[in-house]
Chain A
Amino acid sequence: MKKTLILLPLLAAQVALAQEKKTITGKIEDGNTFQVMAGASIKIETQSISSKTNQEGIIESVSIGTVTDKNGKFILEIPADTKSVMVSYLGYESRIILINEDQTHYNVTLTPVSSEVSDKNKIQEVIITGYQKIEKRKQTSAVSTVKMDNINQAGVASVDQMLAGQIAGVAVTPQTGSPGGPAKIRIRGTASLSGPQDPLWVIDGLPLEGNDVPNFTDKDNIDQLQNFSIAGLNPNDIEDITILKDAAATAIYGARAANGVISITTKKGKKGNMRVNFSADTFVTSRPDFDKLNLLNATEKVDLELMLAQRSDLTYRADKGEVMRILMKNGQLDTFRSGGLDGLNSLTRQQIDGLRNNNTDWGKLLYRTAINKQYGLSLSGGSDRSDYYFSLGYYDEEGTTIGTGFKRYNLTLKNNYKISDKLSAGISIFGTQSERESFVTDADASINPVNYSRNANPYLTPYNADGSYRYDQDIDGFENRYIPFNFLEERNNTSYTLKNQSLKAIADVEYKVTKDLKLTSQLGMQYDSNKTEKYAGQETYFTRKMREGTRYYKDGAYRYFLPDGGVKQNWDNSFFQYNWKLQAAYSTKINSVHEIDVMAGTEIRKTEDNTTLTRAFGYDEISRRSTAMVFPSSSFAAERKYETYREMPPVVNAYASMFATASYTFAQKYTFFGSVRYDGTNLFGVNKKYKYLPIWAVSGSWLVTKENFMKDLTAISNLRLRASYGLQGNIDRNTSPFFIGEYYDTTILPGTKENIINVVSPPNDKLRWEKTTNVNLGLDLGLFQNRINLTADVYSRKGTDMISMKETPLETGFEYTMMNWGSLTNKGFELAVSTRNINNDNFKWTTTINFAHNKSNVLSEQPRDNALLPSREGLPVNAVFALKTAGMDENGNPMFWKGNEKMKAEDFFKLFDVYADFLPGQLVDTKLSNAELRNLFTYVGDRDPKFTGGIINTFKVRNFDLTVSATVNLKQTVMRTPSYRGMDLDRGRNYTKDIYEAGTSLPGITSSEMDSNPGWMANKWFADNRSNAYSLLDVWAKEISYVRISSIRLGYTLPKQFTSPMGISSLRLSVEGRNLFVFSNGYKGYFDPETYGNMYAQPIAKSVTVGFNISF
């Protein structure tokens, strides 16, 4: 028996009131070991017995109870009408034992709290939807739950990344390896095209705001620091995660749940003594393998430039690149063109050869191996009346990209009280402070670190001989007036930070009106303060470029009005929301056959977002003061970019909703479930009929194993069939049939400032509701005492009148608007199998496999005259179209397939010289109509993966445990950014070794000048980006499949006999390798298969973690 046992005080068993009594006896045993338990307590739980005291008017309240003796036995005298007693023991689940009139002896077994839930109890498991707890046996919808213990990984900032490969139908794709960066999550494909496509995150019933992941192929987004509220949560505080997938499960959340719901339940204190848990992990993140980018080295680049310099027909940015600069400076270009290398004078040769020796390792200058740490401490415990959980967390990650990092501090406090038998309340507080760190990169696309490391010439050295910064002569965008740029200088002299302080508080009250009727209310609040600061010192490209913009001409000279010093910009954003729910739930059981559960409630929510921007010019870091700008003219003064203070109008939204669910179960076999919700919002300027939108779902399940005919089939321990149907709707909140204006001010003529009204979005009275119907069929199967568990779901979602952003003819005055463009379906299946392959005391092996397939299909699409690509009807919504090439011709220009005919680009696009008569070689156009141009494209694949999934194997051998998790992503077609543009090859930047295939398997290096170039028309066509033709050549498409071993974790738990004497209940040491291996069909030229084709994404970190976890 446990030595840490604490004897409960002997409770007074005297009963003063004269009433009928009886005596019960019994024995308490451990449910696993069947050892008797001494010191377990037995008491009457639900009521206190009041006893009159000697003093009049004072009633003493005493509980009736006792504890077991050393043989685990007890004797207790109780009032004869007692219905039940409670048996409890520290560290074990308490049980309530019903007292039968004619039974006086009770044998009770208790199971330890920490032990895994046995199969017998599984039937009582509940699904926490955030609104209600549904017993798993009454489950009718598609829902998955994962325990945090099974998916927790050290060295991962946020829980979203840990979901990768864990749940069937949940595709998690890391978008960038930047610290604290989010992962893109898609549950069952893409449902809505206009609004956010991200699932709704809910924490203990409070829906979180601020988790929409922007498009990360856009470099402005990828360089932007952004706070995601889910990244503020300490993964150690999470107990389990429930994912609601089909309409029956999500309908209760209304329109926001169109993309599925991820509901997080956090840990709470368990009854018993205080448990202390401390964990510490150190993780080493290795420098990314720069060789993956497959770039040219210095010698190869010099040779390439020499080759380009030979050719006089290549005029695009012809003066770029060090070789050309040397040749021109020394006046040797013509000599070189006529006589080659041998003709050059020795100085030129020496200078050119000198370049070959400067092999700058940009990988080392930009990336590093980082050592990071993570600590967690939690205290928890509880009594019969209350429980508590308190935790502290610290997470510190330095990015492998030098200069980036993420730090987080967490404080969590949870308390639950049972105020009376009817009333209970709980309060939770989650406090977070996080800090993201980077450097300023937004002055130009070319200075995103990943992109720059691709573009920077390998012979370019970052420092001059005297140690000063050497500036890149080839930086984009400044043909002749050049602004000095050095990556290291930029990184050292700029800073970019985002500090988030977040507080989430949730208060719950539950009141049992009667045995069957329960009222609950929850008030949740979220407050986020985001402070972003961008600072660029005076000696930076950023500030220099800004200074250039302030140049003006006066009194015979150019002057600049940007004061000397740095530029500092601060965005101060605060977000607040509250969410108040009031619910009544009624459940009853009639004759043990009919079970009825009804719930109805209302919810109101209000959000407010405020942002102010301040700018300081001429900022001095030491004095912390800025200098006022003196504008030379009123038009400069009116430019918004020089504004020093700006307050965005607050964004306030309110929502009011009503919802109800009803469930009926017959004979514990058949369950019917219905759910409905009305959402109302403050749609300003929107038609009244769109103010409330109904969302509903119906579903049912059949527990086949309860049928008599299944009794003899012992192999099947559990079989349930499920079906659901639901309808969801959505309307674009930002589109109104009216002209909605926003106030601004302007100065048209000097000295007169006037208020103006600008239109917010194009008024459109033709926009209709977007509706999605959702059908789900599911099967839960347990075989051989649930040693094999299988869950399978098939679903079909059909969206009609889908809303999407579309380009409009510019004659409308707008470039884009929201439109109903068509209908589409998403069909797929999900399969999750978990097996306990070996289940001995000393060796356990379990395997979980999940696998999902989703295919979208566009049923109809409103044809657009200005569309560039063919209709997607009959194709996936993310269809990839390309131009089928048929190799390259003798000049290196791509040939095309039109049907079975191989043709040159000029013929394929039917190109002609528009001004052939009087200005030949100037303008190329096509004779094809838009529709004919569209038809040149061929469907080459789906940008969404065909299959996603994960495989998790867990082994337990004595005190060792090993978990290997892998994520699988199969058959995803990606169009990469062309590795080079052959018709306007920029010799000022570096390229991948793809360039060696120019003219053979990839387009050649050609010119769009008419002279000496038979393919000039095609090149002009490509160079002008017409039809986006060059980027959409099929040579850039690739079908990617990969398996990533996301985590290998080995743990060793010290045997109890060593740790117990030290008062330690558990001590575990662990080693974990993350992202160590990835198997794929090739991702040459990019860091990871996940970010294939993205020129800007930071590499996904590979790390090794060493840590321990200790509990008292």
Chain B
Amino acid sequence: MADFEMVWDPDELRRAMTDVIQGSADLLRELANITVESAKESPPSPYLTGTNRRSITADFTDGTRKETIGGSLSAGGDEGMPTGNDIGFRVYTQSGYGGWLEIGTSKMAARPYIAPGFQRAVNEIERRLAGMV
């Protein structure tokens, strides 16, 4: 009968978990990056003077530090940011009217650009993941 031995190595498990967390963070950072770039493209981003487009920003956190994506300074604050050790990002504009462009007003039709940008980013990440399998 063949011998069978199972070794429980908590250090190995921790290393594996760290790799998974780092991989997830890299993926979400790339998702934020593609979302910002897609939202800035025309279309979908509405364009007149470029003020809103230039202000499209993402704040990303890997649970330990915050990183700003998109070429503008972060708006600061934590509204909409993941809490604790969670990994994630928020996308916003700092033009003062970017949200109304996205959802429209009673006098102006909506011209969504952030939600479609996010959808493009999700599709792109899915394509990349499928290529890795």
User: A and B from one assembly?
Assistant: no
A residues adjacent to B (C-beta < 8 A): none
